[in-house]
Each structure stands twice: as structure tokens, then as C-alpha cells.
Structure 1
Amino acid sequence: MHRRRSAPGERDGEDEFRRWFRCIVEEPAVAGRLREPAVRAAFVSGQVPTWTSTGEELYAVVTTRRVLGPRLARRLTGQTLALTRMLGIPSVPGDR
């Protein structure tokens, strides 16, 4: 999942998710979840972070100029856990 630095010009009826994000997904179950309107809305609104995966590892990609203190770390961790729930990925190994 990659968020574009700038989106192309808006066209009538265009999907905001497709305008702002580029997806390369090999896992059919994850690809199916990315079609769900609630998941797309969460990405567009910034409720969940962009991400990448390698094998069974999921990496949230967060860019911030703020100091990473406990409050911000909790918020970002919560966003990442929300992402795993939306994608149907267990947050604890063996939690399927």
C-alpha cells in the first residue's frame, strides 16, 4: 500500500482511494478486504497507516515530524491494530 505524494486532478465520480493510494497485493483475501468501503474510507481519512508486507511481516509506514512520545506511540499502535483487524490479520500469532 503506497500513498501518493500528490493525487492527480479530481474527476467526477472518481474513487478517492484510487486517487491517493496505489496497491500491489498478492494475497487474495487482503485484496478482497481492500474493496470494502469502510476500509477504503479509513485509508482516505488517515485513520489507518499505509503499510507494506514481507512474507508474514506487516510494517506500518508512518511519517511524522513530532517527537515519538508515549501518547503518540499509543495512537499509532492503535491505528496499526485497527488496520490488522480491517485486513483480517491476527494481531497475535495463532489468533485466527
Structure 2
Amino acid sequence: MAERIYLQRPGQDDVVSVATGFSWGALLLGFVWAMSKRMWFATFVMLGVSTILFLSGLWGDTIGTIGLVLSVLFGVACGVYGNQWHRWTLEKRGYVVMQQTGEGK
């Protein structure tokens, strides 16, 4: 089970939970996942790359195969780094990691 990191904006009660590890949402949903997290820059980058890779598949069999492989690799990269991008975006908005209390031990 993936651990979670909790971030809070100083002076506010708003707490956001960010998973660590692989993001299945980023892998399977791509730019829609980024849009749901309000990560606008990542949304446009992911949409642009996905569009370019899709259009490359329309040019021919060899390029289509290469485009498919690159699309899969891009999806996996989004899954691997998605939660890190989410945390980074929140930190840029002023959220800070909350201190963990002595739970469980």
C-alpha cells in the first residue's frame, strides 16, 4: 500500500493528501488526471505530447508502431512521476508538508 504525504497551506485548515509511488490515474487517464488535480501546466504538456504521438500514428505503419511504443513509455513515465508532480505543484502554491505525529510505533 502506498504511503501518503499530507500537505497544508499555512494558516488554513485545507489539508491535501498526496500518495507516494506509482500513480495509476496518471498512467490511465493522462491529461484528464492532471486537469482533475488542477495541474494546468502538466495538463497542457501531457495533452500536447499525447496529441503529437497520436498524430504520428497516422503517418504510416512504422511510425505508427514507434508512436505506440512512445505513447506507452510516456504513459508509464506519467505514472512514475505523477504524484511527484502533484506534490511539487502544491508546494509551488504555498502548501507545506505536515509533520507526522508518532503513529503506529
Tell me the TM-score normalised to structure 1 length: 0.29
* Structure having the higher Rg: 2
Higher relative contact order (CA 8 A, sep 6+): 2
Tell me the TM-score normalised to structure 2 length: 0.27
